[in-house]
Amino acid sequence: MPELKEFLDDKVKLYNQPAFIEKDPVCMPHLFTKKQDIEIAGLFAAILAWGNRTTIINNSRKLMDWMGNAPHDFIVNHKDTDLKPFVHFAHRTFNATDLLYFISFLQYHYMRYYSLEDAFVPAKTYKEETVEQALIHFHNYFFSIEHPERTKKHISTPARGSACKRINM
């Protein structure tokens, strides 16, 4: 076990520093201080997190820029005309259809709840919830309103055997 501790301590030294964060998609939520902005930036960075890190960060920044670098305010208060820049967005297989649904869902959610936490653990019932249960709940809730079928590939669920790597980020 001492070898494992030493290995993990070395990884902490490598990754737990600002120089690493600025070149990793985890930098996106660090751009914000408001809880909801952090949640939204983190969700988009996680969903886009496959492929080249620089491209992931650039596309995540583009989304935040289009939201006026106030993603929660944008999500809650945007008008249909504000969505024009999003219509041609694409990151690998995540396209404008998916993005517009994410925005729609987030608006639906934030009009009802204070935090994205409620999408994973309703009524903050942390006592008996497992991560697996929370991820399954999030998936089911995320697709509980009318949605494009193609978007389902972007939110995984343990109910179908997925490890849910991106959503766990």
Task: pLDDT tens for the chain, 169 residues: list them.
Answer: 778 889 998 888 888 887 888 888 999 999 999 999 999 999 999 999 998 999 999 999 999 999 999 999 999 999 999 999 999 999 999 999 999 999 999 999 999 999 999 999 876 665 656 888 889 999 999 999 999 999 999 999 999 988 888 888 7
CA distances from 154 to 19, 79, 143, 157, 159 (A): 29, 25, 11, 10, 15
State pTM to two decimals. 0.88
Strand locations in 47-120, DSSP E?
A: 90-91, 94-95
Q: Is 91 helix (H, G, I), strand (E, B) or coil?
A: strand
Structure tokens at 61: 């920044």
